[in-house]
Amino acid sequence: MGRPTTKTDLLTAAAANYEKLNTLVSGLTEKELSTPFDFSGDEKKKEAHWKRDKNLRDIFIHLYEWHQLLLNWVYSNQNGDNKPFLPEPYNWKTYGDMNVEFWKKHQSTSLEDAKNMFQKSHNEVINLAEIVSNEELFSKGVYKWVGGSTLGSYFVSVTASHYDWAMKKLKAHRKNCA
């Protein structure tokens, strides 16, 4: 399926990738869970996140924090507090620095807590998507604070697309451990 453009497709893709991610995680061996991520031997993996995340906790925290960005952004703007998606001082050129701050903030968070935080925030994002209409999600110009995009594109990014990113990273780690 291509990138979702309807509420139904969004909810379906988010649920499917969430389920696939959880299935992948539940199948990780003790060795895969205890071995730190190391992608330094793969020249194709140049993006900063390949160096940043060292374990499953880091992935769960990354997903959780992006859920929080979406939830805080939507609720703030719905309540008349005009806020950008990315908090100050970050922008789309510097959000990598924000991701590093998320990573640093959670270095003492346990894997169990990170998993629970991720599962809870996933449910909160899905519950919010369910109460917003298809038009509000996928029509441009409905909310001035969304800019030139659609609200739904942000939901897709923090759910289905991000879960796909997490699975690619976990599969690459699994391959490294083999």
Domain boundaries defined on the chain: 7-28+52-177
d(CA 66, CA 121): 9
Q: Divide the 178 residues of the chain into consecutive groups of 10 and give the mean pLDDT of each group.
A: 92 98 97 95 90 97 98 97 96 96 98 98 98 97 94 98 97 95
pLDDT in tens, 20-50: 999 999 999 999 999 999 999 888 998 999 9
Evaluate the omega torsion of the peptide bond into residue 89 and state whether it is cis, within 30 degrees of 0. yes
Q: Which pLDDT score is estimated for 118?
A: 98
CA 51 centroid distance within chain = 17
Q: Which pLDDT score is estimated for 2?
A: 83
CA 84 centroid distance within chain = 17
Residue 91: strand, helix, or coil: coil
Detail the DSSP E strand segments found in the chain.
Answer: none
In CATH, the number for domain 7-28+52-177 is 1.20.120.450
Please state whether the predicted TM-score (pTM) of the whole model is above 0.85.
yes
Q: In the numeric block, which tokens belong to residue 89?
A: 């001082």
Q: Which pLDDT score is estimated for 34?
A: 95
